[in-house]
Amino acid sequence: MNTASRHRTDDSLIALHRIVRATELYSRDLAQAAGLTPTQLRVLQIVDSQDSATPKALAQQMRVSQATVTSLVDKLVAHGMVRRLPSQADRRQTHIVSTPIGHERLQQAAGALPQRFVRAFQALADWEQAQLVASLERVAAMLDAVEIEEAPLPANGEIHRQSA
């Protein structure tokens, strides 16, 4: 390996370390602010923004298994943040709806969200967003993290030993 390549490797590992550390801090701040893990927050955001969602739709949107969604929803139900309602059209389906407590937790979590990243990412041109997503997916593949669902985010630096 030549010197330039070695420096780029070092630079990339340092950047990865910074990203992991920022994620740990975000998870900790979110747990303190709202008592949620990042994946629980995402479920709550989706449900709140759509008025309701089915577990299948949540799983598809979040790119996780339905079993993972069921576990996340179980925890949110236990904390009174969401409710399960049977579908009026099809009794085999269940809809997940946000409660006033869940909506309040979203408000509490707003200060813990990485808004700087969201604003900066949304300010990028479409092609830049696509390039960044592709690069991040490539890094995930290089780390053999493609098949990992949500577990790494909540586990890193979590204060309240909640499991996703």
Q: Which of 9 and 30 is assigned the larger pLDDT?
A: 9
Percent pLDDT > 90 in the chain is 35
Spatial separation of the C-alpha atoms in residues 96 and 129, rounded to whole Å:
31
Residue 95 has which token pair? 């809809």
- Cβ–Cβ under 8 Å, residues 76 and 43: yes
With bands split at pLDDT 50, 70 and 90, how would you rate the model's confidence at 1? Answer: confident
Nearest C-alpha neighbor of 34 from the set 101, 100, 83, 84: 101
- CATH assignment of 3-112+148-155, given 3.40.1190.20, 2.70.70.10, 1.10.10.10, 1.20.58.110? 1.10.10.10
The pLDDT assigned to 2 comes to: 83
Average pLDDT value for residue range 14-40? 84
Looking up tokens 């909506």 gives 103
**SS3 string of the chain?**
CCHHHHHHHHHHHHHHHHHHHHHHHHHHHHHHHHCCCHHHHHHHHHHHHHCCECHHHHHHHHCCCHHHHHHHHHHHHHCCCEEEEECCCCCCCEEEEECHHHHHHHHHHHHHCCHHHHHHHHHCCHHHHHHHHHHHHHHHHHCCCCCCCCCHHHHCCCCCCCCC
Average pLDDT value for residue range 131-147? 86
With bands split at pLDDT 50, 70 and 90, how would you rate the model's confidence at 73? Answer: very high
Looking up tokens 């990243």 gives 117
User: Is the pLDDT score of 156 beyond 50?
Assistant: no
- Cβ–Cβ under 8 Å, residues 21 and 27: no
Residues 6+ apart with CB under 8 A from 32: 112, 159
Looking up tokens 């370390």 gives 17
pTM for the structure as a whole? 0.67
